[in-house]
């Protein structure tokens, strides 16, 4: 499973979701201080894209019906969603943000 650099650490504003397309899968990435997290970009409730949703504490709050998900575990913490978000491995390496995912990465937002 190849690794993919998606940008420099300084290109990510804290607590702002950015989406990347990976082999047909949309992944939301967020910087929390010096740590990075990656989850599915689709809300598990009704499947809307999470991009544009606020991040409060360690939770992303879906903009549509308000479901909250822990950004580290993907677990739902409130709202109508009952299922977790899928999480993806991500790390910082020499100032680069690296997703461990298959195939090509294209930034979508
Ligand atoms: S679609 Fe996200 S909470 Fe309903």
User: What is the per-residue pLDDT across 62-81, written as a single tens digit (0 to 9) for each?
Assistant: 999 999 999 999 999 999 99
Cβ of 80 less than 6 Å from ligand 1: yes
Q: What is the mean pLDDT of each run of 10 residues along the chain (109 residues)?
A: 87 96 89 94 98 96 98 96 95 93 55
Confidence at residue 23, expressed as pLDDT on a 0 to 100 scale? 76
**Ligand 1 centroid from CA 54, angstroms:** 13
Cβ of 45 less than 6 Å from ligand 1: yes
Domains parsed from the chain with CATH numbers: 3-107 (2.102.10.10)
Q: Are strands 3-8 and 96-100 parallel, antiparallel or unpaired?
A: antiparallel
Contacts of 20 (CB under 8 A, 6+ apart): 6, 26, 27, 29, 99, 105, 106, 107, 108
Cβ of 85 less than 6 Å from ligand 1: no
The SS3 call for residue 19 is strand
């Amino acid at each position: 499973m190849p690794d993919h650099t998606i940008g420099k650490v300084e290109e990510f504003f804290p607590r702002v979701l950015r989406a990347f397309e990976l082999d047909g899968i949309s992944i939301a990435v967020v910087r929390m201080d010096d740590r990075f997290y990656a989850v599915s970009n689709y809300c598990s409730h009704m499947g809307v894209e999470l991009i544009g949703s606020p991040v409060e504490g360690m939770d992303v709050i879906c903009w549509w019906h308000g479901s909250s998900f822990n950004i580290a575990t993907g677990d739902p913490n409130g709202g109508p969603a009952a299922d977790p978000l899928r999480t993806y491995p991500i790390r910082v390496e020499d100032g680069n943000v690296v997703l461990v995912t298959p195939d090509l990465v294209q930034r979508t937002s």
